[in-house]
Amino acid sequence: MGAMTSPARSGLPVSGALTIPRAELRWRFSRASGPGGQGVNTTDSRVELSWDVARSAVLTATQRERITERLGARLVDGVLTVTAAEHREQLRNRAAATQRLTDLVSAAVAAPPKKRRPTRPTRGSQERRLKAKKQRSETKRLRRG
């Protein structure tokens, strides 16, 4: 458990180039619906993790642009919020919310994939294709009465 707390102190590592400072993350806890036994009505196990993308100091212009473009539908006034309530313990929900936020942001910040350069079929593959077609047509011709 000690290894997990040290990087979290400085911030939340998203990618090699981006770490969200802890000061920019906002946590909210509330009661979750679902299983929990007797403790369900007393434990604030549902976790909401918010990060203000619009006012973040660690984002470059390109990163901010990519996030707002790709996650625009999820942003409310420039704030990205993820929730987790699938576990009975708040600690596990915190870990799930943290993982969800890092996955979302790292996917949004990633560079777009390289464009596919169209290639032409090789002469050998064209010849093999035509040879197979001829064989097939010959087989069918021989079946005819």
Q: What is the DSSP string of 89-103?
A: SHHHHHHHHHHHHHH
Q: Give yes or no for residue 20 having a pLDDT over 70.
A: yes
Model pLDDT, residue 33: 75
Crossing angle of helices 90-109 and 61-70, in 10° steps, is 110
pTM of the model: 0.67
pLDDT band for position 2 (cuts 50, 70, 90): very low
pLDDT for res 145? 79
CATH of 7-109, one of 2.40.30.10, 3.30.70.120, 3.30.160.20, 3.30.565.10: 3.30.160.20
Asked whether the predicted pLDDT for residue 4 surpasses 50, the reply is no
Chain centroid offset of residue 129 CA: 41
Structure confidence by residue, pLDDT tens digits, 114-143: 999 999 999 999 999 999 999 999 999 999
Q: Is 1 helix (H, G, I), strand (E, B) or coil?
A: coil
Note the pLDDT of residue 138: 96
**What pLDDT is recorded for position 116?**
92
DSSP 10-37: HEEEEETTEEEEGGGEEEEEEPPPS--G
Q: Does residue 34 carry a pLDDT above 70?
A: no
Taking only the tens place, the pLDDT of each residue in 62-115 is: 888 888 888 888 888 888 899 998 888 889 999 999 999 999 888 888 888 899
